A and B are shown apart, each in its own frame.
Chain A
Amino acid sequence: MKRLLGVALGILTAIGGFVDIGDLVTNAVVGSRFGMSLAWVVLVGVVGICLFANMSGRVAAVSGRATFEVIRERLGPRAGLANLGASFLINVMTVTAEIGGIALALQLASGVSYMLWVPFALLAVWLVVWRVKFSIMENVTGLVGLSLVVFAVALFLLKPDWGALAGQAFALSVPAQEGAGVYWYYAIALFGAAMTPYEVFFFSSGAVEEGWKIKDLLQSRINVLLGFPLGGFLSIAIAGCAAVVLLPAGISVTSLSQVALPVAQAGGQLALAVLILGVVAATFGAALETTLSSGYTLAQFFGWSWGKFRRPAQAARFHVSMIVVLLAGVAVLATGVDPILVTEYSVVFSAIALPLTYLPILVVANDPQYMGKHVNGRAVNIAGVIYLFIILVASLAAIPLMIATGAGA
């Protein structure tokens, strides 16, 4: 019974933890501009993140090494450092976007400008990172983040023409009013939003934090294989709401307040309140995860003691680096840059940097010296190589597309 509860909890937190500000914004933007015609990318991204999380979780549980320890061992210090630099910068960008997301959601609730909420969000994130136990932090934000299911409920309440939506989703064609370049640019953004690298650092470091052993592999596999696809389903519901209400009205999403419009239309103030709660929880959870991830990556690379299972005084450099990252994110927000814009760039840069972390994990997951008999099976390897190809293509195409389309304008 206790075990079953554990599994259920794991799945629920995986659903709530999947959606962050990147998924919220990117899916709503895409839904309001392209309808459901990019839904297939979410599917591709979800399968990818399942594969990636499965491999890195297994490596962490079997070898006891988290992602960046493996990257440094496999690539050596020099290539590893370049890798760390890229991953760390994207992490800082994502922290910035998530803190902005918390502040924007609080503005939506209060009407008070988000700039005034930023210091509050910073303090709250730091306190939780500093004081709260890992499992409590994970489970609370994940469970409350589940209230984003309101998007799926809203989609039903809107009584859309399901056939037309499915038609858009399966047509696999570029909508007439948008160019092919913009379509593919947003395809990459959506892929990056679903496969953000911090999720994987966090997942594998979390496995070490929670002291996973080989016998826990089954449960982790269930969490991933059920939780992430359901999270992907939520992403599609976000796009669906935008496609049903905003696309026909000629509204293309540029702010979080617009993402809330379809939900308010479908479910009134109650739904709106649930939505705001969900957005705060999801962005707050993701802000914690990204902040911790930046601490994890630095500490794992440089060999500092890390982890929330240690007292902060025993992992001082780990905690200091997280404070620095949080302050850096807030400094970026203080310049007045639009957090939504930061979010849109952060998901694309996530896609660009993805091969840097994916390749070493794929290699090590096949290495019997690390993995013993738990190396990748044949099916996982076939999928792993196909995804290596997809990830490389998306990474290489992102910058040319960004320049050609003016970042999707």
Chain B
Amino acid sequence: MNLNDILGSDVVDGDGQRLGEVSDVRFALDAGAGQLLSQGRFVGIVVSPRTASSFLGYERQELSQPWPLAQLLRWWHRGSFLVLWEDIAVLGSREVGLRPGFTAYDARLTR
């Protein structure tokens, strides 16, 4: 499965209620470079209620300039949340289903 198939697909919760769209996918690099490359670990997906368009990097809190643009993008992506890999039940080609009782983490990145 390519990341492109996940990005922009609908996200539903355990009851089939639509929550939004996948606007980003988060990875973590846990170790230094191994034999080939350091392994990227799929941390989770960012679900945005309104738009699957890019955050343009404004999910990072240290990026706050130019102010009107940052405000506009944050407003557009308001209510976004991060869902961890463990809470994803189905990663289908059409939609992503979450487990009942999933935890919605803050999608913002701080230093």
Contact = CB atoms under 8 A, between A and B. Distances in A.
Given A78-B4, A368-B62, A368-B63, A363 B56 contact: yes
Contacts of A360: 56
A366 interface: yes
Interface string A371-397: 000011000011011001000000000
Closest 5 CB pairs of A and B: A381-B66, A366-B65, A385-B66, A363-B56, A385-B68
Contacts of B65: 366, 375-376, 381
Interface in B32-79: 54, 56-57, 60, 62-63, 65-69
B29 to A, nearest CB: 15
Contacts of B62: 368
B48 to A, nearest CB: 15
Contacts of B69: 362-363, 385, 388
Interface in A37-52: none
A192 B103 CA distance: 50
A384 B56 CA distance: 17
A369 B56 CA distance: 13
A406 interface: no
Interface of B: 4, 54, 56-57, 60, 62-63, 65-69
Contacts of B54: 74-76, 79
Interface residue tally of chain A, by bracket? 10 to 19
Among A360, A366, A388, the most chain B Cβ lie within 10 Å of the Cβ of A366
Given A74-B54, A74-B57, A360-B56, 18 more contacts: A74-B56, A75-B54, A76-B54, A78-B4, A362-B66, A362-B69, A368-B62, A368-B63, A369-B60, A376-B65, A381-B67, A382-B66, A384-B66, A385-B66, A385-B67, A385-B68, A385-B69, A388-B66
Nearest to A77: B4
Contacts of B60: 369
A375 B66 CA distance: 10
Contacts of B66: 362, 366, 376, 381-382, 384-385, 388
B68 A363 contact: no
B2 to A, nearest CB: 11
11 contacts: A75-B54, A75-B56, A79-B54, A362-B66, A367-B63, A376-B66, A382-B66, A384-B66, A385-B66, A385-B68, A388-B66
- Which among A76, A375, A376 has the highest number of chain B CB atoms within 10 Å? A76
B14 to A, nearest CB: 30
Contacts of B4: 78
Contacts of B63: 366-368
Nearest to B68: A385
A381 B67 CA distance: 8
Contacts of A369: 60
